[in-house]
Amino acid sequence: MSNATAADDFGAAMGMVLRSYAEMVGPQLVDFPQGARGYETLCEVLKGEPPSQAALAAKLGIDRTIMTYLLDDLAAAGLVERRPNPADRRQRRIVATPHGRAAVSELCGRVAEAEQAALARLDENERVLFRRLLSKAAGTAPAHTEEACAIVTGALAE
């Protein structure tokens, strides 16, 4: 048996942070297709070379069947397109549309503010460290960062 108290319980603490995140960020993305999942997917699409649907599903840890429906919703909203991969005609690449880029640019600031509010108990240095450690523990770089917002906003201004 462990002598850990509720305050020391890693799972409980992670759950509380996740609930706070959902309560703060969720309302910012309520009108976005598939909410936070759709937003994070589009952010991932904007990171670099257009990914295949299968690669995107694997990167985000989303079942490939569910990814199909998610991308259908994003495409129906005019946020992404499926384009043939010039290197493999059997494969489609997922590409953000200008409307998709603009949508992420518009939401980046609001999502960043909501994320800051979710971590309001931490000072700025602690928030930076927490994000870095969380990304390291998860084995990924965050899909949404202030740098990503700046890149998208800068690309739209060009």
Quote the CA–CA distance of 116 and 69 in Å, as a whole number. 31
pLDDT of residue 1: 47
Domains of the chain: 13-157 (1.10.10.10)
What length is written for the chain?
Answer: 158
| CA pair distance 16, 12, nearest whole angstrom | 6
* Mean pLDDT computed over 100-118: 92
- 147 pLDDT above the threshold of 90: no
Distance CA 114, CA 29 (A): 11
52-58 mean pLDDT: 90
* Mean of per-residue pLDDT scores for the chain: 85
Report whether pLDDT(148) > 60: no
Which region, left, alpha or beta, applies to residue 84 given φ > 0 means left and ψ of -120 to 50 means alpha?
beta
User: In 10 A of CB 115, how many CB atoms?
Assistant: 20
pLDDT digits (tens, 9 = 90+) for 37-49: 999 999 999 988 8
Mean per-residue pLDDT for 114-120? 91
Task: Please compute the mean of the pLDDT values over residues 108-115 and round it to a whole number.
Answer: 91
Indicate the pTM of the whole model. Answer: 0.76
Q: Please state, in angstroms and rounded to a whole number, the distance separating the CA atoms of residues 110 and 130.
A: 20
Give the per-residue pLDDT at 146.
58
pLDDT surpasses 90 at 75:
yes
Q: Give the model confidence (pLDDT) of 23-33 as tens digits.
A: 999 999 999 99
Are 97 and 73 in contact, with CB atoms under 8 Å apart?
no
CA distance 103 to 125: 29
Cα–Cα distance measured from residue 39 to residue 55, given in angstroms and rounded to the nearest whole number: 17
